[in-house]
Amino acid sequence: MKTVDRIINYISSNKKSHFGLFLIVLTTLSLLMIFCYDPVYRGDDFYFHLRRLNALADALRDGTFPAYIDYKALQGYGYLSSVFYPDVILIPFAALSFVTGTLFAYNSMLLIMTILCGVFMYKAIYVIYKNSFAAFISGLLFCFCNYRLFDIYNRAALGESLAFTFFPIILLGMYYIIKGDYKRNWYVLAIGYTLLIYTHLLSSVIAFILIVLFLLIYYKPLKEEPKRLIYLCLAAIVTVLMTAYYTFPMIEQMVSNSFYYKTHSWVDPTLYSTSIYWLLLGMIEGLTQPEQFFFPKIGLFLTFGICLRLFVRGKSKELKSIDIFVIVAIGLLILSSSIIPWGKFPFKELRVIQFPWRLFAFVSFFFAIAGGYYLSQLVKSRRRMAIASFFVIAFAALIIAGDSQNYRRTVRADQVLTTPNITNHYLGGGKEYLPSRIESTDYICKRGDEVITNYNTTRISNFIRSKNITSFDISIANADHIEVPLIYYKGYKAVLNGNKLPVVQSSRGLIEITANQSGRVEVYYTGTTLLRVSFWISIISILALCTFVFVSRKKKEVINLSFH
Amino acid sequence: MRTINNIINSVAEKKAIHIWIVLGLLIFLSAFMLYAYGFNLSGGHDYYFHNARFEALMKALQNGMFPVYIDYDGVNGYGYLPKLFYSDVILIPFAIIGNLTSTQTGYLSILFTMTVLCGLFTYIVVNKIYKNSFAAAVSALLYTFCMYRLYDLYHRAALGEVLSFTFLPIVFLGLYYIIKGDYKKWYVITIGFCLTIFSHLISSVVLFITVIIILAIYYKDLKKEPKRLLYLAIAGGASLLILAYYIYPMAEQLLSNTFYLNTDTWSYPDKNKINPYHIIWGMTNGLPLPDQGFSPRLGLLLTLGIIVRIFIRNNGKSPLLRSADILVILGLLFVFATSSLFPWSVFPFSKMNYLQFPWRLYEFSSLFFAVAGGYYLSILLKSNVRKFVVLCFITLFTVLALLGDGKYYNNFTVQYRDTYEYINMDNHYYISGLEYYPAKVPSTHYIQKRGIVIDTKDSTTNITNFARNKNITTFDVEIKNPDQLELPLLYYKGYKATLNGENLTVEQSDNGLLALAVNQSGRVEVYYKGTAVQYICFWISIAAIVALCIYIFLSKKRKK
């Protein structure tokens, strides 16, 4: 017993070891997660994201990055998910997949992003609340909360599950803007928000609304020092510049055409709001039983954390901020429930979020912070801290162990790793990024590799698809409108005997060109000018920010040195 | 906000009305329980067994056969005698209600009354020992509506164990008086123990062991005042008299024959352990999900109750805190004993095979955790508003648990039984593990195949006019040589047979049935008369109960 006490005392008095200890625990649990949930390919959207990763890897290999299309999709008709769904976070892992294969790269992505998620959470909480125990607990609560595991594996919603990683950076950025040293650290918010946008758009939209909400709640410090607002605007401008690569081409594409996500909406939030009973049930569900079906939930782990509030005494600024988080999170919980009329204004306008329980990601985030902080206020002796940490670690391990069993037994247990195809939703659940004019994917499959002409005097021969280039010979009697078997997106280029042809959308949502002479036609996706320009805007602004941060840090060091 | 505060504070100060609030809450939740689960009880494993017991008692009261009777309709008319092994005392008032209304109403009134009483007794006991009405209210709610009790009530329909829940708190109050309090109230433990034994024997055995463990822990108090031990002995002696109606006839019967319960091995504890993940899952599981299997478990609320212990600061341990800690440790040991890590097949545990399911210990863990949780929370929560919030939480949680589990019970458990099973010999007429079959009976299939006939050894013997009128079997026998008859009745000690008004010796056949040696022709009449022990013991019990009541009345009066 005494030796145990001595170890506990040694660790708690040696502050530098705290982060190291956290990192060891975090890495172990993350590895356990990867190991337990194998195989990773059973989740709902797995093949969609796998295809994105593969298309990116192909583009890097072919040298077409950053202007590329998934030309293997839809039997060569091409699918432009890369413009609608940001690919930046995937880049290093796509590169890794050259060496290791896709599955390993995918798993390493999950591992690294989980570890980073914990590390960022720890750092953010440690900086804001200056309490390593709270940071330790919050980090674990957040990383291994039920909804995150659900997102990573059961839903395989890669974008959303990676988005978790950057919430803490945004929180820290907001802290600097509202309360902290905004002059030196304003860019943290810009970095965090940029990373979030580059990961998952829907989460960024919700995060934006929450940022505005918190600015309103904390309007007093902003009123006292309006300068803070200026730095906020600076951060916003930098964010816009850094995210140019994604936002502008996407807007351009959205404006240019109408797509399935708008016209063929298949997910109605009113159908997916959580009934109060299931909401509460999910809040107090501890461990998953191997046979039960899984549903999005907050989990006992987090609920228990906020219930501790009842035992916390006293008042402080920190406690107040945590209480605000909890209240906001409870508000979000109510929003995700069926008592909110998602079919009516103003909620109707938010139907892009598809599943109201997406808000659980943010609820989990706030609850994790609160749980860690409340616990740190209640558990004061070192020995009890050790016991509490042990419990949290053990419980996280048990959640992983039990939930993964459930995943392996109940989620498409018969599914094996196959190539992505129509039946496994590799175009996304709602085939969101098909132009609305496309009748159906079945039609595309039936239509095949045929080039359709208006006149039967027009002859097509030597049709070849070679990587991203579709080419064929054409011989005409009259000028003819021909329909090429490629899905229409802005950014395609068609060349006939070296001359550029105008590309328009056919009535069936495919590419149509007008041939006025015989010869060889080549059609391929080059991306729009805006895409290439925005890419460089992003690169330059990111480099500029890096330089700025580096220089200002150095200056700080000089100042610090001169003080000593 | 302030008005609410004031109301809560003024209610908190009026101690006299607390018990009424708790009673109101208990009645509401118990009624809600009946509503949530519906009136169809047939989903429970042992429902038909207990319902048959209940109906047999109802009939016995109607026919005036009580207190000595047999379930003559049981086992296809072969007559089943669980009554001697499984006490019927607690059921008596409800059987009267059943006779006045209907069997179902009578049965449901047991569940309702016993649930309300369970909470009420817990409240009173905890309030007496810990002197804190908030702690008592929390304990009462946690214990009465704990997951394991709900499991017993509906999914297992283990009526005996359900009844025993209600009386455990009384035993622990009695134990408190013996160890620390006014030992002159020794009769509390007597009353508690007798009621528990009259409810369920297996629980009582575990209770007995638990009581001994607690006495051993508090041996110092007993050493200081050895008189306390004397009063404990008095309590024990009184119990043996009050229990006479049940224990001696049972012992007589057990000695007279061997039964399935002596020979069966399917229910050995070693075969019914729970794996540790499942235990922990059960401890953190909040509400039952409508689609998951229900299994014995402790439930989240109890776990939370004991976890808050780490927030209590140790400023000089009070004896009360120590007692709560002891309960938690004991409860955790019991939980451990339910796990697959526990060596149930090794001596001395191998001697406890009658326990059947190690998770029966959850009954005790649940009580201990509920009491400790209530007490811990009362220490941690100082403001009345927070106490109120916690009570609301627990009530809400309980309502949700009842709703969710009720849904599961109706959608799955009942449906399963209704669709896939019906009462027949393959499921042994639902008389559980057939514990009280004489060991010589080959199987239920044998009984079914054999049918309602009288077997003779001599083929010239003629049986005519076979008739059954309630508990009386009659027939005419015509013999050429003296013969041995085998009747379609399970053999139990206490049957009486007459031939032309003369007594016949009743023996057991090789098939565990009733055998009669006949040496003349005439009319045979067979019925269950019971043994002399049964009648005498009944009156001993009545006398002992009356005597104890008078004693209590007098000693209360003297005090005044």
- The predicted pLDDT at position B429 comes to 53
Q: Which residues pair with B455 in a beta bridge?
A: B486
Q: A289 and B291 in contact by Cβ < 8 A?
A: no
Report the 10 Å Cβ neighbour count for A316: 10
Which of A285, A50, A34, A279 shows the shortest CA–CA distance to A153? A34
User: Please, which residues bridge with residue B468 across strands?
Assistant: B473
Which residues touch A325 (CB under 8 Å, ≥6 apart)?
A366, A369, A370
Looking at the complex, does the CB of residue A285 fall below 8 Å from at least one CB of chain B? yes
Q: Can you give the pLDDT at residue A152?
A: 94
Q: Count interface pairs A-B at CB distance under 8 A.
A: 72
Which residues in chain B have Cβ-Cβ distances shorter than 8 Å to A306? none
The nearest CA of chain A is from the CA of B314 a distance in Å of: 11
Interface check for B283 against chain A (CB to CB < 8 A): the answer is yes
Q: Check residue B293 and report its DSSP letter.
A: P
Q: Tell me the CB-side half-sphere exposure of residue A41, using CA atoms within 13 A.
A: 17
Q: Is A279 on the interface with B (CB under 8 A)?
A: no
Q: Which residue of chain A comes nearest to B379, CA vs CA?
A: A311
Q: So what's the pLDDT on residue B531?
A: 93
Q: Is A281's CB within 8 Å of B380's CB? A: no
How confident is the model over B220-231, as a mean pLDDT?
93
Backbone angles phi, psi at B375, to 5 degrees: -70, -45
| Closest-CA residue to B228 (of B171, B169, B181) | B181
Q: At what angle do helices B227-242 and B244-256 cross, to 10 degrees?
A: 70
Per mean pLDDT, which range of A216-225, A378-387, B274-283, B457-466 is the poorest?
B274-283
Q: Best of A284, A406, A409 to disrupt the B interface by mutation (most B CBs within 10 Å)?
A: A284
What is the rounded CA–CA span in Å between residue B304 and residue B373?
8
Measured CA to CA, the distance from residue B472 to residue B515 in angstroms comes to 16
What pLDDT was estimated at residue B116? Answer: 97
* Residue A274, beta-bridge partner list: A337
A147 touches chain B (CB under 8 A): no
Closest listed residue to residue A51, CA positions, set A63, A65, A41? A41
**Testing the interface with A: which of B310, B388, B389 to mutate, by most A Cβ within 10 A?**
B310
| Cα–Cα distance measured from residue B43 to residue A24, given in angstroms and rounded to the nearest whole number | 50
Under a CB-based contact definition with an 8 Å cutoff, are residues A334 and A340 in contact? yes
Residue B111 C-alpha from the chain's centroid: 12
**Nearest chain A residue to B280, by CA:** A287
User: Bridge-partner residues for A203, per DSSP?
Assistant: none
Write the CA distances from B457 to A225, B480, B520, B526, integer angstroms. Answer: 110, 12, 15, 19
Q: How far is B251 from chain A (nearest CA, A)?
A: 44
**Interatomic CA distance for residues B246 and B82, integer angstroms:** 12
Q: Is B68 in contact with B535 (CB distance < 8 Å)?
A: yes
- Residues in chain A with CB shorter than 8 Å from the CB of B287 are 280-281, 284-285
Among candidates A350, A76, A304, which has minimal Cα distance to A209? A350
Residue of A278, A279, A281 best to disrupt the B interface, most CBs of B under 10 A:
A281
Query: For position B316, what pLDDT does the model report?
Result: 67
- Block mean pLDDT (10 aa), chain A, length 564: 80 84 95 92 88 92 89 88 91 93 93 97 95 95 94 92 96 94 91 95 92 94 92 95 94 90 76 81 77 78 91 91 96 89 79 83 96 93 89 92 84 71 75 87 85 86 88 88 92 90 91 89 92 95 94 77 58
Contact between A407 and A38 (Cβ < 8 Å): no
CA distance A292 to chain B (A): 5
Q: Across the strands, what pairs with A504?
A: A512
- Establish whether this prediction's ipTM goes over 0.95: no
Distance of alpha carbon B480 from alpha carbon B519, whole angstroms? 9
Residue A413 has a pLDDT of: 66
Contacts of B269 (CB under 8 A, 6+ apart): B344, B349, B352, B353, B355, B356, B357, B358
Q: Which of chain B's residues have a Cβ under 8 Å away from the Cβ of A379?
A: 310-311
Which residue(s) pair with B446 in the sheet?
none
Residue with tokens 């994105």: A52
With CA atoms as reference, report the closest residue to A106 among A44, A26, A36, A52.
A52
Residues of B with CB below 8 A from A402's CB?
A: 277, 281
What's the one-letter identity of residue B74? G
Residue B180 has a CB neighbour count (10 Å cut-off) of: 14
B469-525 residue pLDDT tens:
888 999 999 999 899 999 999 999 999 999 998 999 999 999 999 999 998 999 999
**What's the confidence (pLDDT) of residue A564?**
52
CA distance B422 to A217: 64
Alpha-carbon distance B111 to B100, whole Å? 17
H-helix or E-strand spanning residue B499: strand B495-499
Nearest CA to A164 out of A184, A182, A138, A183 is that of A138
* Contacts with B399 (C-beta within 8 Å, 6 or more apart), sequence order: B29, B32
In this predicted model, what pLDDT tens digit does every residue of A463-521 receive, in sequence order? Answer: 988 888 899 999 888 888 899 999 999 999 999 888 899 999 999 999 999 888 888 99
Helix locations, A186-343, DSSP H: 187-199, 201-217, 219-224, 227-242, 244-256, 260-263, 269-272, 276-284, 300-307, 317-335
Is the pLDDT at B333 greater than 90? The verdict is yes
Report the gap between the CA of A261 and the closest CA in chain B (Å): 34
CA distances from B431 to B71, B76, B261, B425, B494 (A): 12, 12, 13, 10, 21
* Interface residue of B284, B315, B381, B391 to substitute, partner A, most A CBs within 10 Å: B284
Rg of chain A's alpha carbons, rounded to an integer?
Answer: 26
- Chain A interface, mutation test: which of B275, B278, B287, most A Cβ atoms within 10 Å? B287
pLDDT confidence band for B297 (50 / 70 / 90): confident
A111 touching chain B per CB within 8 A: no
Q: Quick check: A300 contacting B, CB < 8 Å?
A: yes
Burial track A361-370 (b if 16+ CB lie within 10 A, e otherwise) = bbbbbbbbbb
Show residues of chain B in contact with A284, CB under 8 Å: 286-287, 300, 397
Residue B347 predicted with pLDDT over 90: no
Q: Is B549 on the interface with A (CB under 8 A)?
A: no
**How many contiguous H segments (helices) and E segments (strands) does chain B have?**
23, 9
Coil, helix or strand at residue A451: coil
The number of C-alpha atoms within 13 Å of A306 and in the hemisphere containing its C-beta is 23
| Contacting residues for B367 by C-beta, under 8 A, at least 6 apart | B122, B143, B165, B168, B169, B172
Q: Give the three-state DSSP class for B523.
A: strand
B503, β-bridge pairs: B498
Measured CA to CA, the distance from residue B230 to residue B222 in angstroms comes to 10
Report yes or no: A287 at the B interface, CB cutoff 8 Å.
Answer: yes
Q: Other CB atoms closer than 10 Å to residue A167's CB: what's the count?
A: 26
A511 neighbors A486 (Cβ within 8 angstroms):
yes
What residues does A493 pair with on adjacent strands?
Answer: A524
SS3 B470: coil
Place of tokens 């299309």: A69
Subunit contact B404:A277, Cβ cutoff 8 A: yes
C-alpha A531/C-alpha A46 separation (Å) is: 27
Which residues, in sequence order, are CB contacts of A446 under 8 Å at separation 6+?
Answer: none
Cα dihedral: B388, B392, B393, B399 (round 10): 160
Given this model, what pLDDT does residue A537 score? 95
Q: B312 CB near a chain A CB, below 8 Å?
A: no
Which one-letter amino acid corresponds to residue B120?
Answer: L
Q: Do A285 and B289 touch (CB under 8 A)?
A: yes
* A442 touches B: beta carbon within 8 Å: no
A304 reaches B (C-beta below 8 A): yes
Measured CA to CA in angstroms, residue B92 lies from B61, B510, B543 at distances of 9, 36, 18
For CA atoms A79, A83, A85, A87, the dihedral sign is positive
C-beta atoms surrounding B341 within 10 Å: 12
Q: Measuring CA to CA, which residue among B390, B366, B383, B379 is closest to residue B309?
A: B379
d(CA B320, CA B130): 7
Note whether B332 contacts A: Cβ–Cβ < 8 A: no
Is A457 near chain B, with CB under 8 Å?
Answer: no
The Cβ of residue B292 has, within 10 Å, a number of other Cβ atoms equal to: 16
